[in-house]
Structure 1
Amino acid sequence: MSGTREEMVKSALKLCLNVVKSYEWLLDLYVLDFFVDDHWMKLPKLWRDSFSEMDPQDLGNILIGHLVRILTYKYNLSTMGIEMQTKLSEEARKLDLELEYTVKKYISEESISKLLRPIHFNITLSSLDQLNEISLSKHLHNYGLIGLHPCGDLGPLLIKHFLSSEKVRFICVVGCCYMKLSNNCGYPLSQYAKSKDSHLSYVSREIACHAIETYTQKLCIGDYKDLKVHAYRAALEKLLIQMDPTLKHMPIRSVKHTQNMTFESYCTAALEKLSYQTLYDENIEEDLKQWKRVVVLYTLRLMLAPLVETVILLDRMLYILEHGISCEIYPVFDPKISPRNHIIVGRRT
């Protein structure tokens, strides 16, 4: 049965990889280079003819600390939360104490003394060895791993630790920050994906992290004028490169669109901490008239984003199945609240 399951996942992954391969030219486009590299002309002519005058509306018609607290105090489970930022661990401990202070009003001191308490551990994980070196209670013979939106390679590291240690009986991982995955540790994981010479660019992995449902909702109700900021950023990129080619993809201040924001006010805010305050090109107004085309291109790329995430999730699932362990993927969160809403569950029998 597991063999059949593995073949089904391979078949699904193969189909996804084929589509990603066909459209990687689109996935790999930087929207901020829209005017610099004339991205519109890179679309097939039939697409340009269809989308040229189309309204975008028609196209779109501190968590771990809370988790271990609930598992420990409510379900009496031994837990350890791994966090990179010391400040977040300190805040988690503070909330633990506040909770205990509150429950003293309702239960006895003896009951309080018998409570299991969560452990908050600070470390920046970059290798499997670091996970193996974390000291656990001598009385702890079996345990599970829960990764609630682990950033970058942390998710794959947790999966590898699960597979390498018989003590780990289950794993639950909800992915996050796919653009921070490394090629040697994060993706691909499965032998099957590696045999296909599968590669996902930084840009394609980055767009797989976007809040698609929220974006789609904006398009469907026609509330997308704030998306004009993408065109402003692309126009500013063109001006910066015209002035100095070494400024390509230079980090600038992130600016949220506000009502009646002009391109000039956007540039002033974006370059506030830099010395480039007076930028102008006589053709820029013509470029800005194409702002809806920028939104269309961005939306086309976003349509493929769930496919990229599916490739990453199926690769992780297949990696676990290749080790003879049962694995499933479930949608568990409202994607409007948590865009990364799929959980990978692996269980040892």
Structure 2
Amino acid sequence: MATSALTLPEIQRRIDEVTRFLSIALNIANAHTVEFYTHDVWRQLVAVPPQEVLSAFSSCAGHKGEPEPSGDERSKTTFGFCDDTKRLVDTPKLLQVAKAHSLPGLGVCASRDELLRSLREHEPASPPAEEGAGLVPDEFMNSKKSHEVQSMSEVVACLAQHCGVKQVIDVGSGKGYLCSFLSLQYDLQVYGIDSSITNTHGAQERNRKLKKFSRSYQKHKVARERTTTDSAQDELLGINGADDILHAAGEEAVSPREEAVPVNLSKVNPIVDKSSDPETEELFLSALSVDAVETPAPRVPPSQLSVEERERRKRENLERKAQNRPSSDHSLFSPLTSYVTAETELRELINELEDAVLVGLHTCGDLAPSTLRMFVAKGELTSVCSVGCCYHLLTEECDPARQESAHGVCGFPMSQYLRDQSWFCGRNARMSACLALERVSLGQGIQMESLFYRAVLHVILRDHYSSFKSEKRVGNVYSKAKSFVDYVRRALRRLDLDESKLPDSVIQDYHDTYRARVDEMFAFNMLKVTLAPCIEGLILLDRLCYLKEQEAVSFSALVQLFDPLLSPRCYAVVGMKSLSYKTQLQSN
């Protein structure tokens, strides 16, 4: 496939480019905003005024001239950082290099359309889903989730079709939106696994409601098809004399030659009612006349029917139910509650397991790498489509703070290539990787005032409370605070500290003093946002490199599935196993 053109050595070369850049720039990403003023972070790491940094962001391509660093920092620079002091002296250069070391700049990502074309290259021209049968997920999920589910489900369905499988396993399925859509839209048998029993119960209830929605949708679809067919043959909804049949929106077809039944208007499918225009509705109601439907004969109690007649009616009812049952009912997904790792035996969780596609939509922390390891380890998994998130929750193998006695496989790095280099990012840098550059560029995403409040609070804790280094978190105090003074008092109470020793005037003085330096914090956070795509890129390149290292994997790629403005974590790691490897496993 065209999208897997990059070889393992080429991926490793891209990783080397990113790690060389981040080895110099990572200090900015690892600086903690809470300690911004107490550690004087700006003066430690940046040698230019904050206004110059902000100006570079507002006119990246149009920046004129070079910055004027002073003293020692006129010496040689690398990526905009002074080689001697390691401080940033050339903001435009940093912005340029950061863009070049993001995933789009490195040229390692395929688009969603490219992947779909490759998967369908040797497949029938018709799409996996029936043309014109599209569900509208906006009816049961928000616009962001709808965009994610529709975009990813088509890729998953194409993977399933390409690999010739009908089962999907969704790890970290959460509320089951992706599972439901895959089963309803693409007639796939989906198993959703989530460690939260609350999520599983919620998914079961949502599944029940969507099952009703599916039945209504199928009846609506069948009714439309019948109406279209009958209209081509007859002039008035298929009614043309005594021998014709009246189709009442999914109700039993009625013929005057058969035993007539009452037509209950309250049972007419509400979805059909809402979609019909006034003219169609008038025609439909006019069809329900004494000329079209005979007056039913008195109902005979079951006790008075012969045994043969009761058996005949029972048999007909069963046949009728089987005919009217929506084709996708059997494939509505099965929510399961379980904590899974690469060592989890899927066949112990799923008795009916066959070959399947493994998926994960925004799986948090270590679950995303565990999904990829599971794909490699389990022979029944033919392909994988994994979109991770919450990089700050990843465990790092080379973390100096990690306990030596800690067991289990870490989430980063995955590839043997980066593990051999003992590469370490740091939690603050991984937290920075979660920032959304596209949104911030449009003025969204960073709540500067809350960050400013928290940093100044840390100064107050340092100056007035011996326990200011406490790891106890302040929590979401900002959203309830009416002013900075109110914020500080709420925070002190949350930390169980004596607030009476600080008058309001002292607290306000801290605010006013550091307000003059708020541009430093704003500019510094913009620098962190600039580095975010590079750190995310390294994490995802590591995952792709891991798949490239596996002999069993014949295809692997990074694919941009989503619009980053709607869904910032927009990249999927996609992989497929070779048929020869599958045959080898079966023979063993």
- When the two structures are superposed, what TM-score results if normalisation uses the length of structure 1? 0.87
For the structure 1 residues 96 and 27, does the alpha-carbon distance in structure 2 shift closer, same or farther, using more than 3 Å as the test?
Answer: same
Measure how far apart 1:328 and its partner are: 0.6
Residue 307 (str. 1) matches residue 534 (str. 2): yes
Residue 343 (str. 1) matches residue 572 (str. 2): yes
Residue 38 (str. 1) matches residue 40 (str. 2): yes
Equivalent position of 1:59 in the other structure: 57
Equivalent position of 1:158 in the other structure: 371
Partners of 2:413 and 2:55 in 1: CA distance: 36
Partners of 2:479 and 2:212 in 1: CA distance: 44
Greater gyration radius? 2
Measure how far apart 1:132 and its partner are: 4.2
Partners of 1:343 and 1:148 in 2: CA distance: 9
SS at match of 1:23: helix
Partners of 2:534 and 2:345 in 1: CA distance: 31
SS at match of 1:333: coil
Equivalent position of 2:523 in the other structure: 296
Equivalent position of 1:17 in the other structure: 19
For the structure 1 residues 116 and 234, does the alpha-carbon distance in structure 2 shift closer, same or farther, using more than 3 Å as the test?
Answer: same
Equivalent position of 2:349 in the other structure: 135
On the 8 A contact 1:80/1:120 being kept in 2, the answer is yes
Measure how far apart 1:319 and its partner are: 0.2
Partners of 1:91 and 1:132 in 2: CA distance: 22
Equivalent position of 1:323 in the other structure: 550
Partners of 1:313 and 1:66 in 2: CA distance: 24
On the 8 A contact 1:16/1:311 being kept in 2, the answer is yes
SS at match of 1:150: strand
Residue 120 (str. 1) matches residue 328 (str. 2): no
Partners of 1:103 and 1:307 in 2: CA distance: 43
Partners of 1:254 and 1:5 in 2: CA distance: 46
On the 8 A contact 2:484/2:511 being kept in 1, the answer is no
> Cα deviations across residues 301-327 of structure 1 (Å, max 9, x unaligned)?
121111010000000000001003221
**Cα RMSD (Å) of the superposition?**
2.7
Measure how far apart 1:112 and its partner are: 3.9
In structure 1, runs of 5+ residues without a counterpart are none
Partners of 2:205 and 2:547 in 1: CA distance: 37
Measure how far apart 1:122 and its partner are: 1.1
Partners of 2:364 and 2:53 in 1: CA distance: 36
Residue 243 (str. 1) matches residue 243 (str. 2): no
Partners of 2:380 and 2:42 in 1: CA distance: 54
Residue 196 (str. 1) matches residue 421 (str. 2): yes
Larger CA deviation: 207-216 vs 173-182: 207-216
Measure how far apart 1:244 and its partner are: 2.7
1:120-269 aligned within 5 A: 120-125=335-340, 127-132=341-346, 134-138=348-352, 140-183=353-396, 184-218=409-443, 226-248=447-469, 249-256=471-478, 262-269=483-490
Q: Aligned to 2:180, which of 48, 69, 84?
A: 69
> Cα deviations across residues 198-247 of structure 1 (Å, max 9, x unaligned)?
1110111111112332222117xxx98x5132121100011112223433
SS at match of 2:459: helix
Measure how far apart 1:26 and its partner are: 1.3
Equivalent position of 2:108 in the other structure: none
On the 8 A contact 1:31/1:230 being kept in 2, the answer is yes
1:92-107 aligned within 5 A: 92-105=203-216, 106-107=218-219
For the structure 1 residues 227 and 284, does the alpha-carbon distance in structure 2 shift closer, same or farther, using more than 3 Å as the test?
Answer: closer
Percent sequence identity over aligned pairs = 23
Measure how far apart 1:58 and its partner are: 5.6
Partners of 2:375 and 2:20 in 1: CA distance: 30
SS at match of 1:246: coil
Partners of 2:52 and 2:185 in 1: CA distance: 53
SS at match of 1:128: coil
Measure how far apart 1:294 and its partner are: 0.6
Measure how far apart 1:192 and its partner are: 0.6
Q: Match for 1:116: what amino acid? A: S
Partners of 2:345 and 2:21 in 1: CA distance: 36
How many residue pairs get matched? Answer: 338
- When the two structures are superposed, what TM-score results if normalisation uses the length of structure 2? 0.53
Q: Match for 1:93: what amino acid? A: Q
Q: Match for 2:338: what amino acid? A: I
Q: Using CA pairs below 8 Å that are at least 6 residues apart, which structure has the higher relative contact order?
A: 1
